Amino acid sequence: MKNTTISIAWRNIRRNKARSLVIMISVAIGVAGAVLADGFMEGMSEQRIRSAISNEISNIQIHNPQFLLNKETEFTIAGADGIVEKIKSLQEVKGISRRFITNGMASSAEAGAMVSILGISPDTESQVSSLSQHIVGGKYLAEAQRLPVFIGEKLSKKLNLNIDDKLILTFTNRDGEITSGAFNITGIYKTTNDNFDKTEVFVKNDELKRLAGYPSGTVNEIAILLKSNELTSSTVRKLDGLLAPQIKEGKLIVQSWKELAPVVKSMSDTMNFFSMLFLMVILIALAFAIINTMLMSIMERTREFGMLTALGMNKRKIFEMILSETLFLSIFGAAAGLILSALGIQYFSAAGFDLSSVAGGMNSIGYDSVIYPDVKFTFYATAMAMVIIIAVLSSLWPAAKAMRLRPAEAIRENE
Amino acid sequence: MSIIKAEGIFKTYNETSVPVHALNGVDLEINNGEFMAIVGPSGCGKTTLLNITGGLDLPDKGKIFIDGTNLGGLSSKELIDFRLHNIGFVFQASNLIPVLTVKENIEFIMMLQNRPKAERDGKVEELLNAVGIIGKADYKPGQLSGGQQQRVAVARALATNPRYIIADEPTANLDSASTRELLDLMAEMNEKYGTTFVFATHDQRVMDRAKRIVTLEDGKITGDKTISK
Ligand SMILES: Nc1ncnc2c1ncn2[C@@H]1O[C@H](COP(=O)(O)OP(=O)(O)OP(=O)(O)O)[C@@H](O)[C@H]1O
Ligand SMILES: [Mg+2]
């Protein structure tokens, strides 16, 4: 027997095994529920972010600030070649793509749709975008072919077009005249974001510029993929430094995906907030279960506490004892819950959890219907820390009850 | 030399609809090394008086001194500490912590006193021997007979080296053989360590062994005789 109060507390836990087990299982289930919920929400938003970065936005983009207002092609990036050279000097950078962008109409014989037409160079584009890995028909833009176009599956369905069909792209050229070109559909892609698939069409840089009447060096957007998403903020800061003169003159703006797709970012923040809220609500409910268990246990031991006080156990030690009992119950319960949920998360993070049968419309809001849950270590640590805080708080009421017992009266009880 | 001095003690319980005047002006002086019994009919106030002299309860009126310390002048924390270092307790039943072994029950109270391990071990050994339950050191209280449990309670009460032990009906649940053994033990400890013992009891067998008998009736002392044997 090393520490009296802790040792007595530990044995008291095992005194009423059924009751201790019931409360530990409740804590385990509650904590596991919170972890699984967080895992799914985190997985969903992580996947959304990853897909937004790898297919749609990349980590960082540079524009002429005026281009961002209405996406008008005339607002180009001056001195794009020099800028690209500077970006290349950063070791965080994995790929850079120059894009020429115009808005227009895509049409078939049957229908039309408003689209964003992105002129790209297939080599450099595939360094920043993994769209070429999401092909459901045909192949990626080939250099050799004339007037190829790469479109989303949603758009192809809407226009009722297929591989090798002609897609008419209509847009205004540099002189303000309506121009159109007949492009050949060489590839069809599909991401988890229906909206993207409906509106983004890819053609070759030089062909689009020629049709639109812009010189070959024209660039509207520089997209940068980094070696890791964690490097985003620091790289934005570095670029802000490197390109400071142009930025000051208002000719350039460097933005991370968080600024470019605020919805993706805020959805992810919202989900994080909700999983914390969920954890809190569960823990508060558990707090009352713990309080109830401890109050019952103390009521049964009224005489014993009276006797301990009579013998000379002071209030601090009584508090320590009750706090230890509460901590044992909660920490063991929480540990079991965390281990079980970590195993569950590990399983589903490999196997994936297919929601398509219950939630068909996930893609229409940009989310994958197969979720690979993901729980950050900090969530487990936070959950454990909060369980400990809740346990300490839950012990206050029962402890106060035990400390208030007057020995003479407590000993009279059930004598 | 007196170890306990109670002066004009009054105690009324107001929890019930009609207040119960449990003690109505009790004056009592107990000398060091006494082996005495407080007797009287049920409800006369024995337990109340014992609790007050043991610092478990405070009187509504009157003063109680133990070894010159006025218990009414102590804070509740000081009072708990005072009990730990000066008074031993043996109650009627269920004296022991059920989750601790016999040895741990005795050791634990010395741990509350922060006494070093070697000293605790020596004392446990000595007391287990003295109360005659050496072979059951690792038993849980539930595995002992009532008499054995009471002997462990006496051992625990002695473990803190108190000047004074109060015992409320310590023999109430015991058969005559166990009662005799327990009384022998307490008398022996009284002799050996000079520890003062005060009992509250109805038990004739206890009264027969007491060296002083104080009779309480309706919360007043009506008799006080010293028996010379
Ligand atoms: N907590 C209490 N609330 C109300 N009345 C009480 C309380 N404790 C004791 N009493 C009353 O005070 C009186 C004295 O009680 P006490 O327990 O001191 O008597 P006792 O002599 O020890 O009796 P017994 O021999 O039955 O143990 C009794 O009438 C009892 O009912
Ligand atoms: Mg009594």
Instruction: Please provide the DSSP assignment of chain B as one string.
Output: -EEEEEEEEEEEE-SSSS-EEEEEEEEEEEETT-EEEEE-STTSSHHHHHHHHTTSS--SEEEEEETTEEGGGS-HHHHHHHHHHHEEEE-SS--S-TTS-HHHHHHHHHHHTT--HHHHHHHHHHHHHHHT-GGGTT--GGGS-HHHHHHHHHHHHHHT--SEEEEESTTTT--HHHHHHHHHHHHHHHHHH--EEEEE---HHHHHH-SEEEEEETTEEEEEEEPP-
DSSP string, B48-115: HHHHHHTTSS--SEEEEEETTEEGGGS-HHHHHHHHHHHEEEE-SS--S-TTS-HHHHHHHHHHHTT-
Q: Rounded to the nearest 5 degrees, what angle is found at the Cα of B143, between the Cα atoms of B141 and B147?
A: 70
Q: Looking at ligand 1, which residue's alpha carbon is closest to its atom 31?
A: B43
Question: What are the Cα distances from residue A186, in Å, to A135, A146, A166, A250?
Answer: 10, 10, 10, 39
Which chain B positions have a beta carbon within 8 Å of A317's beta carbon?
A: 112
Question: Is the per-residue pLDDT at B139 higher than 90?
Answer: yes
Q: What is the DSSP letter of A52?
A: I
- List the structure tokens of B220: 């007043």
- Which residues have C-beta within 8 Å of that of residue B228, sequence separation ≥ 6? none
pLDDT digits (tens, 9 = 90+) for B80-113: 999 999 999 998 877 899 999 999 999 999 999 9
Among B12, B13, B214, say which to mutate for ligand 1: greatest number of ligand atoms within 8 Å of CB. B13
What is the per-residue burial (b if ≥16 Cβ within 10 Å, else e) of B163-192?
Answer: bbbbbbbbbbebeeebbebbbebbeebbee
Look up the pTM and report it: 0.81
Ligand 1 site, residue B22, Cβ cutoff 6 A: yes
Set of chain A residues whose Cβ sits within 8 Å of the Cβ of B159: none
CA of B22 from ligand 1 middle (Å) equals 7
Q: What is the pLDDT of residue B95?
A: 83
Q: Counting one residue from A and one from B, how many pairs have CB atoms under 8 Å apart?
A: 68
pLDDT digits (tens, 9 = 90+) for B170-192: 888 888 888 898 899 889 889 98
Both tokens assigned to A224: 């940068």
Closest residue in chain B to residue A415, using alpha carbons only: B93
| Strand spans (E) along A108-214 | 112-120, 135-138, 148-152, 166-172, 178-189, 200-204
Using one digit for the tens of pLDDT, what is the confidence trace for B115-126? 999 999 999 998
Question: Tell me, what's the ipTM?
Answer: 0.92
Tokens coding A362? 């996930």
Nearest-by-CA chain B residue for A306: B56
What pLDDT is stored for residue A359 in this prediction?
64
Residue A245: partners with Cβ closer than 8 Å, 6 or more residues away:
none
Which-ligand-closest: CA of A408?
1
Asked if A1 lies within 8 A of B93 by C-beta distance, the reply is no
pLDDT of residue B61: 94
Contact A311 B109 (CB under 8 A): yes
* Domains of chain B, residue spans: 2-226
Taking the CA of B15 as reference, the closest ligand is 1
Structure tokens given for A208: 């689009």
Residue A82 burial class via C-beta count within 10 angstroms: exposed 0-12, middle 13-18, buried 19 and up: exposed
The answer to whether residues B211 and B56 touch, using CB atoms and an 8 Å cutoff, is no
Instruction: Spell out the long-range contacts of B26-31 with Cβ–Cβ below 8 A and sequence spacing 24 or more.
Output: B26/B62, B26/B216, B26/B219, B26/B220, B26/B221, B27/B221, B28/B4, B28/B53, B28/B214, B28/B221, B29/B2, B29/B4, B29/B5, B30/B2, B30/B3, B30/B4, B30/B5, B30/B164, B30/B196, B30/B198, B31/B1, B31/B2, B31/B3, B31/B196
Low-confidence ranges of chain A (pLDDT < 50): 415
Q: Report how far apart the first and last C-alpha atoms of chain B are (Å, whole number).
A: 21
The CB-side HSE value for A12 (13 A sphere, CA atoms) comes to 26
CB A1 to CB B108 under 8 A?
Answer: yes
Q: Is the CB of B48 under 6 A from ligand 1?
A: yes
The CATH architecture that domain B2-226 belongs to is: 3-Layer(aba) Sandwich (3.40)
Task: Name the residue facing B107 among A1, A310, A312 (closest C-beta).
Answer: A1
Determine whether the shortest distance from the Cβ of B100 to ligand 1 is under 6 A: no
Q: Using a 6 Å cutoff on CB, does residue B42 contact ligand 1? A: yes
Average pLDDT of chain B is 91
Task: Please tell me the distance in Å from A321's CA to the nearest CA on chain B.
Answer: 13
Give the rounded distance of the alpha carbon of A95 from its chain centre.
23
